[in-house]
Amino acid sequence: PKGDPTVHVFHRRGNRRDKNIRPLNLAGHVGFDSLPDQLVNKSICQGFCFNILCIGETGIGKSTLMDTLFNTNFENFESSHFEPQVKLRAQTYDLQESNVRLRLTVVNTVGFGDQMNKQESYQPVVDYIDRQFESYLQEELKIKRSLHNYHDSRVHACLYFISPSGHSLKSLDLVTMKKLDSKVNIIPVIAKADTISKSELHKFKIKIMSELVSNGVQIYQFPIDDETVAKVNTSMNGHLPFAVVGSTEEVMLGTKMVKARQYPWGIVQVENESHCDFMKLREMLICVNMEDLREQTHTRHYELYRRCKLEEMGFKDTDPECKPVSLQETYEAKRQEFLLELQRREDEMRQMFVQRVKEKEAELKEAERELQSRFEQLKRLHADEKATLEDKKKALEDDQVSFSKRRAAAQLLQGQSLTANGKKDKDRKK
Amino acid sequence: MSDIVPPEVKPKPAIPANTGPLVPPTSAIPVPVGSHSTAQSASGGSTLLGYIGIDTIIEQMRKKTMKAGFDFNIMVVGHSGLGKSTLLNTLFKSQVSRRNAGWPRDEKIPKTVEIKSVSHVIEEGGVKMKLTVVDTPGFGDQINNDNCWEPISKYINEQFEKFLKEEVNITRKKRIPDTRVHCCIYFIPPTGHSLRQLDIEFMKRLSHSVNIIPVIAKADTMTIEERQEFKQRVRKELETSGVEFYPQKEFDDDMEDKSDNDKIRETMPFAVVGSDKEYQVNGKRVLGRKTAWGIVEVENSNHCEFAKLRDFLIRSHLQDLKEVTHNIHYETYRAKRLNENGGLHPISSNGTQESNL
């Protein structure tokens, strides 16, 4: 009770580091027992975030179950069976209960299990989960960041809906869950459980769990380290996977209206624990382990993602001599490396350019030379022709001159002969 | 690539607000109703038909934090003889100051400012706290006190550096050990006149890297009127010098926060008296100082403001001190540090490093 100074000596377990830390007894009420309240109050003011991913075939009852779980009517779209590939649809809602505000994001798969070739069906889901981690990581790595204001979109819980075949898991189920078990807390549920009889259900559950174990699939275990919840969690761990029935319709039973599905042969009551495990699911998912699911996502799944991502990029905690290397130093080194590489490429390009210019220049010079020699040749030809023509012209001119000379001589001769003939004529007349 | 329909933040569609009987919260947290500007469950927001159990997350969270335990690191600064150790012992009702942790009381005043820290684990009401007290002997004791804040500033930055190094590791601890100084109590000597240059210089320089809570030490040397005048003068001087002591105006979350904190800021610096001795007064055993003219009762609010300091520091703002240190002072240090070396820029998701230039 508050106000009672604890008198018992406190023994600190573990941490050898804390050897020299003395436990002290308090002589009166100090008041730091209000610390959890102070912390919780801050969270209440900020509000909480919870993100659920539902994976299951079209029509298996994902949306109905969410509606039933949260006693509300989320906006639902009926999906077709003809989606060419798996998509995810995320919707966010603000809910409030007494003074707790919850920002709930429900992500549903669309078209899961509908394709002929389901080999890549899991990929969009994995990508979505990774994208949320990446987004958080980016924020964390910023210089000016605001993590305490960050809207956490990382998936805290993944409900995997198993078809109520009554036999065993499908290979799609195993493959998908195997890909997801190190990225998200998986809680498998058997959907539309009212189609299986009780005895078949029992066998079905056992078969499913053994298949999961033999395939090495790590589903989420309700934590048993806290004594207050260890008992109920251990018992619930034994009821997995939860066989659920969802319904938002109400049926009159006796004097009350209950959520149920009405069949000609009877009424399946959603909240009746002997009819299905719905209440168990709600208890575990929300009332007991919601905070643990969030914590596991952050401290385990996210850390794993972060570690892998940074290692992939070449960062290490220790260098080859096993001395601790700071992320920053590695980063600086990489940056330098990168800049050097850029420089090198730039030099290379420049050299190549110079080379090409030289080549082109040589080419052009060659062409010019060729052109020049041809020109010379033509010039010579031309000169020869010209000379020949000059000669011909000269010859022609000579001919002309001698011709005109002869003509002149001929004309003269003709004139003389005419005058001589005229004299002769004159002489005869006399 | 999968196609994502962008998440729509929708108020819950209007199903008739027949909320049914909402089971009242199981925890007894004195949360003022309508503490935030958003509406309560009955109007606006989203209403749920029937109880689901979302509010149990409060209990879940509380259990987890209690299991993990808390760390708190408090530093005391002031020249020797001002009653720093006694005040801490009085605050935490046990011998937490280094004087009693097996360290001999210093015969000689150290030549430079030293930093000495000692840790204890205390438990109350199921809440475990590892309290680390950082003492600064030698502060203000020299003839020449130039730059005597430097070792203190260096220590504070070293703790930030330690935390940053851990945070930046590839494989990091589940819980990074927190040695960062969450709160620094600065002891103002009760001269009755005004602040000394040393006081102003120290607080001005350090208020940007740590939460400073100034207190007037040994307040029983002043009368109530003298005390009030002194306080007013001190507050005025702090304001004109631009010293932002905790709770800083710029970090008030909302109007309610602001009005609560304004009230506190107006009574600061608290005039305190410390004592670990008990006396009988009016049939009760109280902590006090016995003088020839009467017994000064430490927890009597007519005598001094110790109780106010305790309530403020421990019972209402302890967690906030840690959060301001983590969300603001540490982030400022980190940003500065990362900018120095070209920094860690956001990494593009396709793995290339183009954006890192």
The rounded mean pLDDT for chain A is 86
User: B65 and A70 in contact by Cβ < 8 A?
Assistant: no
Looking at beta carbons, which residues of chain B come within 8 Å of A123? 2
What per-residue string of b and e applies to A126-152 under the rule 16 or more CB within 10 Å gives b?
eebbbbbbbbbbebbbbeebeeeeeeb
What CA–CA distance (Å, rounded) separates A97 from A389?
117
Tokens of B191: 């001269």
Q: How many CB atoms are closer than 10 A to CB B19? A: 14
Calculate helix-pair angle for B197-206, B150-167, nearest 10 degrees: 10
Looking at beta carbons, which residues of chain B come within 8 Å of A310? 170
Segment A391-412, tens digit of pLDDT? 999 999 999 999 999 999 998 8
Q: Read off φ and ψ for residue B73, nearest 5 degrees.
A: -120, 120
Q: Which residue from B235, B151, B225, B251 is spatially nearest to B199, judged by alpha carbons?
A: B235
Segment B86-114, tens digit of pLDDT? 898 889 888 887 655 545 555 566 777 88
* Pick among B26, B35, B51, B56 to test the A interface (most A CBs inside 10 A): B56
What CA–CA distance (Å, rounded) separates B213 from A83?
63
Tokens of B164: 């940053």
User: B170 and A70 in contact by Cβ < 8 A?
Assistant: no
Residue B9 has what pLDDT?
Answer: 43
Tokens of A350: 């420049």
Looking at beta carbons, which residues of chain A come within 8 Å of B3? 87
Nearest neighbour of A307 by CB, restricted to B27, B35, B170: B170
Tokens of B20: 């049914």
The answer to whether B221 and B289 are in contact (CB under 8 A) is no
Cα angle B114-B116-B119, degrees, rounded to a multiple of 5: 170
The answer to whether B250 and B242 are in contact (CB under 8 A) is no
Q: Name the residue in chain B with its Cα closest to that of A102.
A: B54
Residue B146 gets which letter from DSSP?
Answer: T
The answer to whether B355 and B348 are in contact (CB under 8 A) is yes
Residue B152 has what pLDDT?
Answer: 92
Nearest neighbour of B13 by CB, restricted to A43, A75, A226: A75
Q: Name the residue in chain A with its Cα closest to that of B50.
A: A71
User: A71 and B66 in contact by Cβ < 8 A?
Assistant: no
Q: How far is CA A113 from CA A57, A61, A86, A122, in A?
A: 5, 14, 8, 10
Residue-wise DSSP of B173-220: -SS-------EEEEEEP--SS---HHHHHHHHHHTTTS-EEEEESSGG
Q: Name the residue in chain B with its Cα closest to that of A28.
A: B93
Indicate the residue type of B185.
I
The answer to whether A150 and A122 are in contact (CB under 8 A) is no
Indicate the residue type of B287.
L
Segment A30-42, tens digit of pLDDT? 888 888 998 888 8
Tokens of A120: 């890549």
Q: Which residue from A165, A182, A50 is spatially nearest to A113, judged by alpha carbons?
A: A165
Segment A371-398, tens digit of pLDDT? 999 999 999 999 999 999 999 999 999 9
Indicate the residue type of A100.
V
Residue B108 has what pLDDT?
Answer: 65
The pTM score is: 0.73
User: B95 and A24 in contact by Cβ < 8 A?
Assistant: yes
Residue B98 has what pLDDT?
Answer: 62
Poorest-confidence range of A241-250, A277-286, B264-273, B348-357? B348-357
Nearest neighbour of B170 by CB, restricted to A27, A70, A310: A310
The residue that leads in pLDDT, B37 or B72, is B72
pLDDT above 70 covers a percentage of chain A that reads 89
Residue B251 has what pLDDT?
Answer: 83
User: B168 and A282 in contact by Cβ < 8 A?
Assistant: no
Nearest neighbour of B94 by CB, restricted to A21, A26, A148: A26
Residue A25 has what pLDDT?
Answer: 82
Q: Read off φ and ψ for residue A272, nearest 5 degrees.
A: -95, 120
User: A24 and B96 in contact by Cβ < 8 A?
Assistant: yes
How distant is the alpha carbon of residue B322 from its chain centre?
6
Helices H, strands E: what count in chain B? 9, 11
| Dihedral sign of CA atoms A193, A197, A202, A204 in order | negative
Q: Which of the four pLDDT bands, split at 50, 70 and 90, describes residue A426?
A: low
Interval B113-135 mean pLDDT: 89
Given a cut of 60, whether residue B28 has pLDDT beyond it is no
| Residues in Cβ contact with B63 at an 8 Å cutoff, skipping those fewer than 6 apart | A226, A228
What CA–CA distance (Å, rounded) separates B213 from B192?
19
User: A38 and B8 in contact by Cβ < 8 A?
Assistant: no
Residue B3 has what pLDDT?
Answer: 44
What CA–CA distance (Å, rounded) separates B303 from B219?
9
The rounded mean pLDDT for chain B is 78
The alpha-carbon gap from B172 to the nearest alpha carbon of chain A, in Å, equals: 8
Distance spanning both ends of chain B, measured CA to CA: 28
Segment A50-89, tens digit of pLDDT? 999 999 998 899 999 999 998 888 877 777 788 888 889 8
Q: Which of the four pLDDT bands, split at 50, 70 and 90, describes residue B4?
A: very low
The alpha-carbon gap from B269 to the nearest alpha carbon of chain A, in Å, equals: 21
H or E, element range at A268:
strand A266-269
Looking at beta carbons, which residues of chain A come within 8 Å of B15? 72-73
User: B38 and A134 in contact by Cβ < 8 A?
Assistant: no
Given a cut of 50, whether residue A5 has pLDDT beyond it is no
What CA–CA distance (Å, rounded) separates A261 from A251?
8
What CA–CA distance (Å, rounded) separates A265 from A101?
41
Looking at beta carbons, which residues of chain B come within 8 Å of A315? 170
Is B116 strand, coil or helix?
strand
Residue contacts between A and B (CB atoms, under 8 Å): 309
| Dihedral sign of CA atoms A71, A74, A78, A79 in order | negative
Indicate the residue type of A189.
V
Residue B331 has what pLDDT?
Answer: 93
Tokens of B133: 């007290």
Rg (CA), chain B: 24
Calculate helix-pair angle for B224-240, B197-206, nearest 10 degrees: 50
Distance spanning both ends of chain A, measured CA to CA: 190
The alpha-carbon gap from B196 to the nearest alpha carbon of chain A, in Å, equals: 33
Nearest neighbour of A75 by CB, restricted to B10, B64, B346: B10
Region at A14 (left for phi over 0; alpha for psi -120 to 50; beta for the rest): left
Interval B253-265 mean pLDDT: 86
Q: Read off φ and ψ for residue B171, nearest 5 degrees.
A: -100, 110
What CA–CA distance (Å, rounded) separates A22 from B118?
10
What CA–CA distance (Å, rounded) separates A390 from A397?
10
Strand ranges across the sheet with B116-124: A22-24, B116-124, B127-135, B70-77, B183-188, B212-216, B270-271
Overall residue count recorded for chain B in this entry: 357
H or E, element range at A359:
helix A327-429
Looking at beta carbons, which residues of chain B come within 8 Å of A142? 344-346
Interval A99-103 mean pLDDT: 90
The residue that leads in pLDDT, B137 or B354, is B137
User: A95 and B15 in contact by Cβ < 8 A?
Assistant: no
